[in-house]
C-alpha cells in the first residue's frame, strides 16, 4: 500500500527542484542564457524597432545587428577603424531600458570588413528583454526618487552642507536579491550633507516593497545642495 505521505513528499521535492532551477537560471550570465536558449524571432521583432530608434544617429562606418535566443538578445556593433561612436550610452538610454532591463557589455575585438577588407572593431552586448507581465524595476526606482524629493530629506540634509555642490547617485535594483543598492559620487559625496542624502535613500530603499518577479534596473539621479 502506498504511504500517504509519499505524494506530499514528491510534491514538495518538485517545488524545491523548480525553485533551484529558477535560482540557477537567475544566476547565469546573460551570454550563458543566450547560448542555452532557442531562437526567438518574436522577441527579436519586438526589440529591433527600439534599437533602430535609439541607434538612428549612427555615423557612416557604424553598423549593427541583433539576434535573440530566449529572452536574451545579442547586439553586435561594428565600427570602422577610426570612427568614434558612443553606442554604449545610446543602448543604456531610458527608452531601451524600459524594454530590456538586464544588460552586459563585452570588450571589443579587432576584425575585418568582409567586403572592403578594412580593419573594424566588433563590439557585443547582451540585452535581456523584459517580461511584459513583470513589474517594472525602472518604475519602482522612479517612484523611489519621487518619494525622496517629497519627503523633506533634501532640505534636512542641506543644513549640513558647508558649501554648494551635488551628489550623483546610481540606484541599482537587484532582482535576485530583491534589494536596491545606492552608489554615490559628486562633489558632496563624502561630505556630511552627501552622506545624509545617501543614508536617506538607503532607508527608504530598504523599506520599499519589492513585487514578486520585479525586473532589474539602474537609475541615475543628481541631488543639488543646498535646497
pLDDT at 159 over 80: yes
Q: What pLDDT does residue 129 have? A: 87
pLDDT band of 21, cuts 50, 70, 90 = very low
pLDDT of the residue at 5: 59
Could you tell me the maximum CA-CA distance found in the chain, to the nearest angstrom?
Answer: 80
Q: Is residue 14 part of a domain?
A: no
Residue 3 within any structural domain of the chain: no
Query: For position 24, what pLDDT does the model report?
Result: 44
141 and 125 housed in the same domain: no
pTM for this structure? 0.55
Cell, residue 44: 527579436
The alpha helices in the chain, defined as continuous H runs, are 5-27, 30-35, 41-54, 87-91, 94-97, 137-150, 153-158, 192-206
142, 114: one domain: no
Whether 125 and 179 map to the same domain: the answer is no
Q: Write the CB contacts of 21 (distance below 8 Å, at least 6 apart in sequence).
A: none
pLDDT of residue 3: 56
Structural domain range at position 116: 27-129
Q: What is the pLDDT of residues 185-224, one digit of tens each?
A: 999 999 999 999 999 999 999 999 888 778 788 889 999 9
Of 129, 157, 184, the one marking the end of a domain is 129
Asked if residue 125 and residue 143 are part of one domain, the reply reads no
Rounded to an integer, the average pLDDT of 122-138 is 83
- 117 plus 162 within the same structural domain: no
Q: Name, in order, each residue with C-beta under 8 angstroms of 172's C-beta and a sequence gap of 6 or more.
A: 180, 181, 182, 183, 217, 218
- Quick check: 150 pLDDT over 60? yes
Predicted pLDDT at 177: 83
Alpha-carbon distance 91 to 124, whole Å? 11
Does residue 166 carry a pLDDT above 50? yes
Instruction: Decide if pLDDT at 17 tops 50.
Output: no
Banded pLDDT at 20 (limits 50, 70, 90):
very low
Residues 99 and 188 in one domain: no
All three cell numbers of 94, joined, read: 531610458
| 141/123 same-domain check | no
Residue written as grid cell 542624502: 197
Mean pLDDT along residues 139-166: 93
Domains identified in the chain, total number: 2
Residues 115 and 32 in one domain: yes
Mean pLDDT of 170-184: 89
pLDDT tens, position by position, 48-91: 999 999 999 899 889 999 999 988 999 999 998 888 888 988 99
In the predicted model, what is the mean pLDDT of residues 122-146?
A: 86
- Residue 27 in this model has a pLDDT that exceeds 70: no
Amino acid at each position: 500500500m502506498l504511504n500517504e505521505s509519499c505524494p506530499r513528499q514528491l510534491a514538495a521535492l518538485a517545488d524545491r527542484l523548480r525553485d533551484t532551477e529558477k535560482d540557477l537560471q537567475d544566476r547565469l550570465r546573460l551570454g550563458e542564457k543566450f547560448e542555452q536558449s532557442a531562437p526567438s524571432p518574436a522577441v527579436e521583432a519586438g526589440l529591433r524597432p527600439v534599437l533602430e530608434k535609439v541607434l538612428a544617429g549612427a555615423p557612416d562606418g557604424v553598423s549593427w545587428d541583433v539576434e535573440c535566443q530566449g529572452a536574451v538578445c545579442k547586439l553586435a556593433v561594428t565600427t570602422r577603424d577610426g570612427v568614434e561612436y558612443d553606442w554604449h550610452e545610446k543602448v543604456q538610454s531610458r527608452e531601451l531600458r524600459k524594454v530590456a532591463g538586464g544588460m552586459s557589455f563585452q570588450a571589443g575585438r579587432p576584425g575585418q570588413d568582409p567586403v572592403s577588407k578594412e580593419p573594424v572593431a566588433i563590439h557585443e552586448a547582451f540585452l535581456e528583454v523584459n517580461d511584459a507581465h513583470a513589474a517594472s524595476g525602472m518604475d519602482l526606482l522612479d517612484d523611489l526618487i519621487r518619494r525622496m524629493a517629497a519627503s523633506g530629506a533634501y532640505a534636512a540634509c542641506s543644513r549640513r552642507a558647508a558649501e554648494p555642490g551635488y551628489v550623483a547617485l546610481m540606484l541599482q535594483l537587484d532582482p535576485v536579491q530583491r534589494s536596491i543598492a545606492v552608489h554615490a559620487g559628486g562633489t558632496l559625496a563624502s561630505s556630511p550633507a552627501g552622506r545624509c542624502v545617501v543614508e536617506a535613500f538607503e532607508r527608504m530603499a530598504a523599506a520599499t516593497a519589492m513585487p514578486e518577479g520585479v525586473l532589474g534596473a539602474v537609475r541615475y539621479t543628481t541631488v543639488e545642495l543646498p535646497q
